[in-house]
Structures are given as structure tokens and as C-alpha cells.
Amino acid sequence: MLFQKLKEAAASFFLQVTYALVALTRAYGASALEWARGSVSLIPSTAVTEVERINFCQALADAASGIDVNSLMAPIEELSDVCRRNRTVQEIVQGALRPLELNLVTVS
């Protein structure tokens, strides 16, 4: 029962994030697409393949042009799954996407 509840909560969260991403892409068009391409390009090829990057960016481009959200779920979910493959990949992706100022260490 608990596992099912957690699974449902995760699915709900994924949908909320996806809808927010689609809404931002539709509202900001080319600017949002450039941000997404830039962000995805920061993830090393050891974590995400070029095909996965292209599919994700194409899904967002389709979202900007108004295509039905349901058809965009697969490529967005694919990248989401990639980023959660295992602990090492999670750390690679989080490190790549963390703002530079959070990666700096103060030397005293």
C-alpha cells in the first residue's frame, strides 16, 4: 500500500513538473528553448546520450509550437529516467546543473 502511494505521488510530481516546463516553454518560446538546450548541454555524455538530448529538446520545441502535451510525455520522461539511473548518474547530473556559485569553495 505504501509503495503504491509513493508511486502515485511520484507520478503526480512528474506531471506537475512536466506541465510547468511546457507552460514556461509556451510562454517564453525561443528563450525557454535556448535555456533548456543550454541546461541539457551541461550534462556530460557519460550521463545522457546525444539522442536523449535531442529528443528532449525536440519535445520542448514541439511544446512551444502548441502540440498536445500527452505526446510530449515520453521524451521528457525518458530524460527524467536517465537522470535517475543510479546514484553516480544523479551526482553527475546534479553537479553539472548546480549553479557555479554553489560549486565554489572559500579558501581561507
Would you state the pLDDT for residue 106? Answer: 56
For residue 78, is it within any domain?
A: yes
Hey, how many other C-beta atoms are within 10 angstroms of the C-beta on 88?
10
For residue 108, is it within any domain?
A: no
For residue 91, is it within any domain?
A: yes
Domains contained in the chain, number: 1
Q: For the chain (length 108 residues), average pLDDT per consecutive 10?
A: 69 75 87 89 86 89 84 80 78 77 56
Would you state the pLDDT for residue 108? Answer: 57
For the chain, the 3-state helix, strand and coil shares in percent, each to the nearest 5, are: 80, 0, 20
Would you state the pLDDT for residue 25? Answer: 87
Whole-structure pTM value: 0.70
Would you state the pLDDT for residue 6? Answer: 63
